Protein backbone atom coordinates (compact mmCIF):
# COMPACT_ATOMS: atom_id res chain seq x y z
CA UNK A 1 0.00 0.00 0.00
CA UNK A 2 1.03 3.55 -0.63
CA UNK A 3 1.31 5.10 2.83
CA UNK A 4 2.93 8.31 1.66
CA UNK A 5 0.55 11.23 1.39
CA UNK A 6 1.85 14.29 -0.36
CA UNK A 7 1.30 17.75 1.16
CA UNK A 8 -1.12 18.69 -1.63
CA UNK A 9 -3.19 15.57 -0.95
CA UNK A 10 -3.49 16.55 2.72
CA UNK A 11 -4.51 20.08 1.72
CA UNK A 12 -7.08 18.69 -0.68
CA UNK A 13 -8.55 16.44 2.00
CA UNK A 14 -8.95 19.53 4.21
CA UNK A 15 -10.73 21.65 1.57
CA UNK A 16 -13.92 23.45 2.63
CA UNK A 17 -16.95 21.33 1.68
CA UNK A 18 -19.44 22.85 4.08
CA UNK A 19 -20.60 26.33 2.94
CA UNK A 20 -21.14 27.76 6.47
CA UNK A 21 -17.53 26.87 7.37
CA UNK A 22 -16.18 28.78 4.36
CA UNK A 23 -18.44 31.77 5.10
CA UNK A 24 -17.38 31.75 8.73
CA UNK A 25 -13.71 31.73 7.67
CA UNK A 26 -14.48 34.81 5.55
CA UNK A 27 -16.33 36.58 8.41
CA UNK A 28 -19.61 36.31 6.52
CA UNK A 29 -23.03 35.11 7.64
CA UNK A 30 -23.45 31.34 7.21
CA UNK A 31 -26.96 31.99 5.84
CA UNK A 32 -25.60 33.45 2.61
CA UNK A 33 -25.12 30.01 1.01
CA UNK A 34 -27.75 27.61 -0.30
CA UNK A 35 -27.61 24.14 1.16
CA UNK A 36 -30.14 23.01 -1.46
CA UNK A 37 -27.75 23.87 -4.29
CA UNK A 38 -25.11 21.55 -2.88
CA UNK A 39 -27.45 18.58 -3.35
CA UNK A 40 -26.86 18.69 -7.11
CA UNK A 41 -23.20 19.69 -6.97
CA UNK A 42 -21.14 19.73 -3.78
CA UNK A 43 -19.08 22.72 -2.69
CA UNK A 44 -15.32 22.20 -2.67
CA UNK A 45 -12.79 24.97 -1.99
CA UNK A 46 -9.15 24.44 -0.96
CA UNK A 47 -7.83 26.79 1.72
CA UNK A 48 -5.17 28.12 -0.66
CA UNK A 49 -7.96 29.43 -2.90
CA UNK A 50 -10.03 30.80 0.01
CA UNK A 51 -6.92 32.69 1.16
CA UNK A 52 -7.08 34.73 -2.06
CA UNK A 53 -10.59 35.95 -1.21
CA UNK A 54 -11.31 39.27 0.50
CA UNK A 55 -12.71 38.78 3.99
CA UNK A 56 -16.16 40.23 4.64
CA UNK A 57 -17.00 40.65 0.96
CA UNK A 58 -19.86 38.47 -0.26
CA UNK A 59 -19.29 39.81 -3.78
CA UNK A 60 -15.67 38.70 -3.86
CA UNK A 61 -15.06 37.46 -7.43
CA UNK A 62 -13.40 34.24 -6.25
CA UNK A 63 -16.06 33.44 -3.66
CA UNK A 64 -18.78 34.03 -6.25
CA UNK A 65 -17.27 31.32 -8.47
CA UNK A 66 -17.58 28.64 -5.80
CA UNK A 67 -20.42 29.59 -3.43
CA UNK A 68 -23.61 27.49 -3.86
CA UNK A 69 -26.60 29.81 -4.36
CA UNK A 70 -30.35 29.30 -4.76
CA UNK A 71 -30.12 30.97 -8.18
CA UNK A 72 -28.65 27.71 -9.47
CA UNK A 73 -31.97 25.97 -8.86
CA UNK A 74 -33.91 28.18 -11.29
CA UNK A 75 -34.63 26.29 -14.51
CA UNK A 76 -33.79 28.46 -17.52
CA UNK A 77 -34.72 27.53 -21.04
CA UNK A 78 -31.75 26.53 -23.19
CA UNK A 79 -29.48 25.54 -20.30
CA UNK A 80 -28.82 21.81 -20.58
CA UNK A 81 -27.21 18.89 -18.81
CA UNK A 82 -24.68 18.25 -21.58
CA UNK A 83 -24.42 21.57 -23.44
CA UNK A 84 -21.35 20.63 -25.47
CA UNK A 85 -22.51 17.17 -26.58
CA UNK A 86 -19.62 15.33 -24.95
CA UNK A 87 -21.68 12.33 -23.86
CA UNK A 88 -22.24 11.37 -27.49
CA UNK A 89 -18.52 11.15 -28.15
CA UNK A 90 -17.08 9.06 -25.32
CA UNK A 91 -14.87 6.22 -26.55
CA UNK A 92 -13.88 3.47 -24.09
CA UNK A 93 -15.44 5.62 -21.32
CA UNK A 94 -12.46 7.96 -21.27
CA UNK A 95 -11.60 9.40 -24.71
CA UNK A 96 -13.38 12.23 -26.53
CA UNK A 97 -12.22 12.36 -30.13
CA UNK A 98 -14.07 15.32 -31.64
CA UNK A 99 -11.28 17.36 -33.26
CA UNK A 100 -8.75 16.46 -35.91
CA UNK A 101 -5.32 15.37 -34.71
CA UNK A 102 -6.03 15.55 -31.00
CA UNK A 103 -8.03 13.67 -28.46
CA UNK A 104 -9.28 14.50 -24.99
CA UNK A 105 -8.37 11.90 -22.36
CA UNK A 106 -10.68 12.01 -19.32
CA UNK A 107 -8.61 10.71 -16.43
CA UNK A 108 -10.69 11.47 -13.38
CA UNK A 109 -14.07 12.98 -12.63
CA UNK A 110 -12.86 14.92 -9.64
CA UNK A 111 -11.64 18.49 -9.25
CA UNK A 112 -9.98 20.26 -6.34
CA UNK A 113 -12.54 23.04 -6.63
CA UNK A 114 -16.12 22.87 -7.79
CA UNK A 115 -16.82 25.90 -9.96
CA UNK A 116 -20.53 26.64 -9.94
CA UNK A 117 -20.57 27.62 -13.64
CA UNK A 118 -18.94 24.40 -14.82
CA UNK A 119 -20.57 22.29 -17.54
CA UNK A 120 -19.34 19.32 -15.54
CA UNK A 121 -21.80 20.08 -12.73
CA UNK A 122 -24.44 17.90 -14.40
CA UNK A 123 -22.16 15.40 -16.07
CA UNK A 124 -21.78 11.88 -14.66
CA UNK A 125 -18.03 12.52 -14.53
CA UNK A 126 -18.01 11.72 -10.83
CA UNK A 127 -18.15 8.04 -11.75
CA UNK A 128 -15.31 8.35 -14.23
CA UNK A 129 -12.24 6.77 -12.75
CA UNK A 130 -9.39 5.66 -14.89
CA UNK A 131 -8.96 1.96 -14.20
CA UNK A 132 -5.88 0.15 -15.50
CA UNK A 133 -8.14 -1.67 -17.94
CA UNK A 134 -9.60 1.55 -19.36
CA UNK A 135 -6.11 3.00 -19.63
CA UNK A 136 -4.99 -0.04 -21.62
CA UNK A 137 -7.95 0.25 -24.02
CA UNK A 138 -7.33 3.97 -24.44
CA UNK A 139 -3.68 3.38 -25.26
CA UNK A 140 -4.70 0.72 -27.80
CA UNK A 141 -7.10 3.22 -29.45
CA UNK A 142 -4.33 5.83 -29.61
CA UNK A 143 -1.92 3.30 -31.11
CA UNK A 144 -4.43 2.41 -33.84
CA UNK A 145 -5.34 5.99 -34.77
CA UNK A 146 -2.19 7.24 -36.41
CA UNK A 147 -3.66 10.67 -37.21
CA UNK A 148 -3.69 11.61 -33.49
CA UNK A 149 -0.65 13.76 -32.69
CA UNK A 150 -1.63 15.28 -29.38
CA UNK A 151 -3.25 13.82 -26.27
CA UNK A 152 -5.01 16.27 -23.97
CA UNK A 153 -5.48 15.14 -20.39
CA UNK A 154 -8.63 16.65 -18.98
CA UNK A 155 -11.34 15.74 -16.52
CA UNK A 156 -12.15 16.68 -13.96
CA UNK A 157 -8.62 17.63 -13.22
CA UNK A 158 -5.85 15.32 -14.47
CA UNK A 159 -3.33 16.64 -11.93
CA UNK A 160 -5.41 14.95 -9.23
CA UNK A 161 -3.78 11.73 -10.37
CA UNK A 162 -0.72 10.73 -8.38
CA UNK A 163 2.74 11.56 -9.71
CA UNK A 164 3.35 7.86 -10.32
CA UNK A 165 0.19 7.56 -12.41
CA UNK A 166 1.02 10.70 -14.42
CA UNK A 167 4.50 9.44 -15.10
CA UNK A 168 3.10 6.08 -16.25
CA UNK A 169 0.70 7.79 -18.68
CA UNK A 170 3.41 10.05 -20.10
CA UNK A 171 5.72 7.08 -20.66
CA UNK A 172 2.95 4.95 -22.25
CA UNK A 173 2.12 7.74 -24.71
CA UNK A 174 5.78 8.45 -25.45
CA UNK A 175 6.05 4.90 -26.83
CA UNK A 176 3.49 5.69 -29.53
CA UNK A 177 5.39 6.99 -32.55
CA UNK A 178 2.73 9.35 -33.93
CA UNK A 179 2.04 11.12 -30.59
CA UNK A 180 4.10 14.31 -30.58
CA UNK A 181 2.80 16.35 -27.66
CA UNK A 182 1.02 15.91 -24.35
CA UNK A 183 -1.25 18.59 -22.98
CA UNK A 184 -2.78 18.96 -19.52
CA UNK A 185 -5.85 21.09 -18.87
CA UNK A 186 -5.86 21.87 -15.17
CA UNK A 187 -7.01 24.35 -12.57
CA UNK A 188 -4.79 22.88 -9.85
CA UNK A 189 -1.79 25.26 -10.22
CA UNK A 190 -4.32 28.07 -9.54
CA UNK A 191 -6.46 26.62 -6.74
CA UNK A 192 -3.94 24.28 -5.08
CA UNK A 193 -0.42 25.45 -6.04
CA UNK A 194 1.22 22.94 -3.67
CA UNK A 195 0.23 20.32 -6.29
CA UNK A 196 3.19 21.51 -8.37
CA UNK A 197 5.72 19.67 -6.22
CA UNK A 198 9.33 19.01 -7.14
CA UNK A 199 8.59 15.39 -8.06
CA UNK A 200 5.94 16.42 -10.61
CA UNK A 201 8.25 19.06 -12.07
CA UNK A 202 10.98 16.44 -12.48
CA UNK A 203 8.53 14.07 -14.22
CA UNK A 204 7.55 16.81 -16.67
CA UNK A 205 11.15 17.92 -17.14
CA UNK A 206 12.25 14.37 -17.99
CA UNK A 207 9.28 13.59 -20.23
CA UNK A 208 10.31 12.30 -23.66
CA UNK A 209 7.62 14.48 -25.30
CA UNK A 210 6.97 18.23 -25.04
CA UNK A 211 4.46 19.06 -22.31
CA UNK A 212 1.91 21.85 -22.60
CA UNK A 213 -0.03 22.91 -19.57
CA UNK A 214 -3.21 24.96 -19.96
CA UNK A 215 -4.21 26.53 -16.66
CA UNK A 216 -7.70 27.76 -15.93
CA UNK A 217 -7.58 31.16 -14.27
CA UNK A 218 -10.51 33.58 -14.39
CA UNK A 219 -9.47 36.53 -12.26
CA UNK A 220 -6.21 38.37 -11.45
CA UNK A 221 -6.84 37.86 -7.70
CA UNK A 222 -6.35 34.11 -8.26
CA UNK A 223 -2.67 34.71 -9.10
CA UNK A 224 -1.17 34.76 -5.61
CA UNK A 225 2.56 34.67 -4.85
CA UNK A 226 2.32 30.89 -4.32
CA UNK A 227 0.58 30.42 -7.69
CA UNK A 228 3.17 32.58 -9.42
CA UNK A 229 6.01 30.61 -7.90
CA UNK A 230 4.42 27.28 -8.95
CA UNK A 231 3.93 28.51 -12.52
CA UNK A 232 7.43 29.90 -12.82
CA UNK A 233 8.91 26.59 -11.68
CA UNK A 234 6.90 24.83 -14.39
CA UNK A 235 8.18 27.33 -16.90
CA UNK A 236 11.76 26.69 -15.80
CA UNK A 237 11.15 23.01 -16.51
CA UNK A 238 10.49 23.92 -20.18
CA UNK A 239 6.76 23.47 -20.03
CA UNK A 240 4.68 25.65 -22.34
CA UNK A 241 2.11 27.48 -20.25
CA UNK A 242 -1.18 28.74 -21.63
CA UNK A 243 -4.37 29.86 -19.92
CA UNK A 244 -8.05 29.58 -20.61
CA UNK A 245 -10.70 31.63 -18.85
CA UNK A 246 -14.46 31.65 -18.81
CA UNK A 247 -16.20 35.00 -19.19
CA UNK A 248 -18.43 35.31 -16.12
CA UNK A 249 -21.02 37.93 -15.33
CA UNK A 250 -20.15 40.02 -12.28
CA UNK A 251 -16.77 38.29 -11.94
CA UNK A 252 -14.49 39.16 -14.85
CA UNK A 253 -16.70 40.88 -17.45
CA UNK A 254 -14.95 44.25 -17.44
CA UNK A 255 -12.04 45.66 -19.43
CA UNK A 256 -9.84 46.52 -16.40
CA UNK A 257 -10.19 43.02 -14.93
CA UNK A 258 -9.54 41.18 -18.18
CA UNK A 259 -6.55 43.30 -19.09
CA UNK A 260 -5.09 42.96 -15.59
CA UNK A 261 -5.63 39.19 -15.85
CA UNK A 262 -3.63 39.02 -19.08
CA UNK A 263 -0.80 41.16 -17.68
CA UNK A 264 -0.58 39.14 -14.47
CA UNK A 265 -0.69 35.83 -16.34
CA UNK A 266 2.26 36.96 -18.41
CA UNK A 267 4.16 37.85 -15.24
CA UNK A 268 3.56 34.22 -14.15
CA UNK A 269 5.03 32.91 -17.41
CA UNK A 270 1.61 32.12 -18.92
CA UNK A 271 0.18 33.28 -22.25
CA UNK A 272 -3.59 33.84 -22.58
CA UNK A 273 -5.05 31.24 -24.96
CA UNK A 274 -8.85 31.11 -24.86
CA UNK A 275 -11.58 33.26 -23.37
CA UNK A 276 -14.66 31.04 -23.42
CA UNK A 277 -18.19 32.29 -23.36
CA UNK A 278 -20.17 30.19 -20.90
CA UNK A 279 -21.25 26.69 -21.88
CA UNK A 280 -24.98 26.77 -21.26
CA UNK A 281 -25.05 24.25 -18.42
CA UNK A 282 -28.20 23.86 -16.36
CA UNK A 283 -27.83 25.90 -13.16
CA UNK A 284 -25.29 28.38 -14.53
CA UNK A 285 -27.54 30.91 -16.33
CA UNK A 286 -26.82 33.69 -13.79
CA UNK A 287 -23.16 33.74 -14.95
CA UNK A 288 -24.03 34.23 -18.63
CA UNK A 289 -23.62 37.49 -20.54
CA UNK A 290 -25.04 38.32 -24.00
CA UNK A 291 -22.76 37.23 -26.82
CA UNK A 292 -22.62 40.77 -28.25
CA UNK A 293 -21.33 42.13 -24.91
CA UNK A 294 -18.62 39.49 -24.97
CA UNK A 295 -17.61 40.50 -28.48
CA UNK A 296 -17.54 44.21 -27.53
CA UNK A 297 -15.40 43.47 -24.50
CA UNK A 298 -13.01 41.42 -26.59
CA UNK A 299 -12.67 44.28 -29.10
CA UNK A 300 -11.81 46.69 -26.29
CA UNK A 301 -9.22 44.23 -25.01
CA UNK A 302 -7.72 43.99 -28.50
CA UNK A 303 -7.46 47.80 -28.63
CA UNK A 304 -5.70 47.96 -25.29
CA UNK A 305 -3.21 45.09 -25.08
CA UNK A 306 -0.20 43.70 -26.92
CA UNK A 307 -1.50 41.17 -29.43
CA UNK A 308 -0.09 38.14 -27.63
CA UNK A 309 -1.93 39.12 -24.44
CA UNK A 310 -5.36 38.92 -26.11
CA UNK A 311 -7.01 35.49 -25.72
CA UNK A 312 -9.19 34.14 -28.54
CA UNK A 313 -12.86 34.58 -27.77
CA UNK A 314 -14.53 31.23 -28.39
CA UNK A 315 -17.64 29.20 -27.90
CA UNK A 316 -17.80 25.44 -27.74
CA UNK A 317 -20.58 24.01 -29.88
CA UNK A 318 -21.78 20.43 -30.15
CA UNK A 319 -20.85 18.75 -33.41
CA UNK A 320 -18.26 21.32 -34.58
CA UNK A 321 -14.74 20.42 -35.68
CA UNK A 322 -13.12 23.06 -33.45
CA UNK A 323 -14.03 25.80 -30.99
CA UNK A 324 -16.01 28.53 -32.74
CA UNK A 325 -14.22 31.89 -32.96
CA UNK A 326 -16.57 34.76 -32.09
CA UNK A 327 -14.84 37.68 -33.78
Ligand X SMILES: *Cc1c(COP(=O)(O)O)cnc(C)c1O
Smallest distance, ligand SF4 to C-beta of residue 136, A: 25
Pick the piece of the chain touching ligand SF4 (CB under 6 A) from 22-30, 107-115, 202-210, 284-292. 107-115
- Of these partners, ligand SF4, ligand X, none, which one is at the site of residue 219 (CB under 5 to 8 Å by kind)? none
Residues 6+ apart with CB under 8 A from 238: 205, 210, 211
Nearer to ligand X by C-beta: 60 or 316? 316
Among the listed residues 71, 102, 280, 315, the single contact to ligand X using CB under 6 A: 102
Nearer to ligand SF4 by C-beta: 115 or 196? 115
Strand extents, DSSP E, 13-115: 90-91, 95-96, 102-108
The per-residue b/e assignment along 205-239, b for 16 or more CB within 10 angstroms, e otherwise, is eebebebbbbbbbbbbbbbbebbbebbbbbeebeb
The per-residue b/e assignment along 7-23, b for 16 or more CB within 10 angstroms, e otherwise, is ebeebbeebbeebeebb
**Which residues between 115 and 154 bind ligand X (CB under 6 A)?**
152
157 binds ligand SF4 (CB under 6 A): yes
Residues in contact with ligand SF4, counted by CB under 6 A, come to a total of 9
216 binds ligand X (CB under 6 A): no
Other C-beta atoms lying within 10 Å of the C-beta of residue 75: 8
Distance CA 307, CA 312 (A): 10
- Of these partners, ligand SF4, ligand X, none, which one is at the site of residue 323 (CB under 5 to 8 Å by kind)? ligand X
323 binds ligand X (CB under 6 A): yes
Binding site for ligand X (CB under 6 A): 96, 98-99, 102, 104, 152, 316, 322-323
Amino acid sequence: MNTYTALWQKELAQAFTHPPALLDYLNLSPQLASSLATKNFAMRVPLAYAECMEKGNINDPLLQQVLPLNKELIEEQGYLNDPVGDLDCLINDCLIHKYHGRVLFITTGGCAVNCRFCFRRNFPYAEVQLTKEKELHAVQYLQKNTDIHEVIFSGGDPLLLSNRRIQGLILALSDIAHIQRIRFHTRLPIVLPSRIDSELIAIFNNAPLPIILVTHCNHPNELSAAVKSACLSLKQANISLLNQSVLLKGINDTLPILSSLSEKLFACGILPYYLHVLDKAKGSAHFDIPQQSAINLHQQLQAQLSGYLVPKLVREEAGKSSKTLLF
